Amino acid sequence: MEHPYLMYLGDVPDQLGAKTAKGIVDWRPEWCLGQVRLADCKADLGIQDISIAEAAKNGAKTMVIGIVNSGGFLPEHWVRDIIEAMEAGMDIASGLHIRLGSISEVKEAAERLGRNLFDVRHPTQDLPTGKGTPRSGKRLLAVGTDCSVGKMYTALAVEKEMKKRGMKADFRATGQTGIFIAGTGISIDAVVADFISGAVEVLSPANDEDHWDIIEGQGSLFHPSFAGVSLGLLHGSQADALILCHEPTRTHMRGLPHQPLPDLKECMELNLTTARLTNKDAKFVGVSVNTSGLSVAEGDALLKKLEDELGLPCVDAFRTGVAPIIDNL
């Protein structure tokens, strides 16, 4: 996918609906030329509002449909804007479950105009089954007590801190937002189950002995909906290092009121047990806690308490940074 990006928000009803676009703006602001919002849009990325024609004139290469919605559908009234962007010279990229090419008007326009359609949620390559064969290089995987607790943000923060120190490191994206940020990757939640661990092996191949692949985690071993993806990531990554990500204000697993959150030590033990199937030396090197729901004082106290209990550096990747974890690594 070529950048600069034009971020298309359509008329999403709230800020959360634009979380994919927001992640791209947070981590790759220099790639984001502006945003297109329809009249009833309730989201704002804090960047310039611009028309499709103006964006094309200013050099936009790809229009990113940077929204998420229930069901992953694309509203019919967005199609005319997508075609307008292609007529203005842009490719189209989407993280929705629906494939752009499955919409006849979009497919016909892309073929007529010679534009690329990027469905980043859908792998485009043939993937092998995982083999668990030891490979060179180092790998770090973010795992979670629940889904949506900051695994992508933590992995990106780790990559940034490592590169700041002159270390060899690459963020490996496993979800649609991460793929937009990295420019490449495999959306693991769209991979057929038998091939999940193999996809992660492809995503983080053998490398220099001092090179770190920082692999974005997905789901949680304790979340009934997503544990299968989490397990495949653990086996395929052959992680040398794990970081546990946690959101302390939740009372149950996201979307499952009947499912309690796991104890942190219990969560770490199960992750280590499963990770050691393909790397017997896997170990935790830190904990990343999203303290945004707490006051600064409460957050600091919790981080100190967890450090004492777990014997590992505990950080808020957004508020305090991840330097202590890299020091420990």
Same domain, 282 and 200: yes
3-state class of 172 per DSSP? strand
Instruction: Specify if 294 maps to a domain.
Output: yes
Tell me the residue range of the domain where 31 lies: 5-119
Kindly report the number of other CB atoms within 10 A of residue 252's CB atom: 12
Please list, in sequence order, all residues whose beta carbon lies within 8 angstroms of the beta carbon of residue 117, skipping any fewer than 6 positions away.
91, 92, 93, 94, 100, 101, 106, 107, 110
Reported pTM: 0.89
In terms of domains, do 163 and 251 share one? yes
Q: Is residue 65 part of a domain?
A: yes
Residue 109: inside a domain: yes
Q: Which three-class secondary structure string do you get for 183-249?
A: CCCCCHHHCCHHHHHHHHHHHCCCCCCCEEEEECCCCCCCCCCCHHHHHHHHHHHCCCEEEEEECCC
Decide if 314 is inside a domain.
yes
124, part of any domain: no
CA dist., res. 41 & res. 239, Å (int): 41
Write down the pLDDT at residue 68.
80
User: Is the Cβ–Cβ distance between 177 and 164 less than 8 Å?
Assistant: no
Q: Which of 70, 90, 119 is the last residue of a domain?
A: 119
Query: Could you tell me the two tokens for 328?
Result: 């420990």
Contact by Cβ (8 Å): 41, 9: yes
* Total tally of structural domains belonging to the chain: 2
- For residues 109 and 200, state if they share a domain: no
Domain membership flag for residue 305: yes
Rounded distance, CA 220 to CA 267, Å? 9
My answer on whether 186 and 307 are in the same domain is yes
Identify the bridge partners of residue 170 per DSSP, sorted by sequence position: 213
Cα distance between residue 26 and residue 204, in whole Å: 24
Q: Are 234 and 250 in contact (CB under 8 A)?
A: no
Are residues 180 and 307 located together in one domain of the fold?
A: yes
Q: Who contacts 186 (Cβ-Cβ below 8 Å, separation ≥6)?
A: 123, 127, 173, 174, 179, 199, 200, 202, 203
One domain for residues 202 and 298: yes
Q: Point out the residues of the chain with pLDDT beneath 50.
A: none
Residue 177: which of 169, 166, 188 has the closest Cα? 188
Is residue 107 domain-shared with residue 144, that is, in the same domain?
A: no
Structural domain contains residue 316 = yes
State the CB neighbour count (10 A cutoff) for residue 300: 15
pLDDT of amino acid 97: 85
Phi, psi torsion values for 6, nearest 5 degrees: -105, 120
Here the CATH number for the domain that contains residue 323 is 3.40.50.300
State residue 70's pLDDT score. Answer: 63
Q: What are phi and psi of 76, to 5 degrees?
A: -55, -40
Are both 281 and 143 inside the same structural domain? yes
Q: Give me the torsion for CA of 228, 230, 234, 240, rounded to 10°.
A: -170
Per-residue confidence (pLDDT) for residue 71, from 0 to 100: 64
Give the pLDDT score at 69: 74
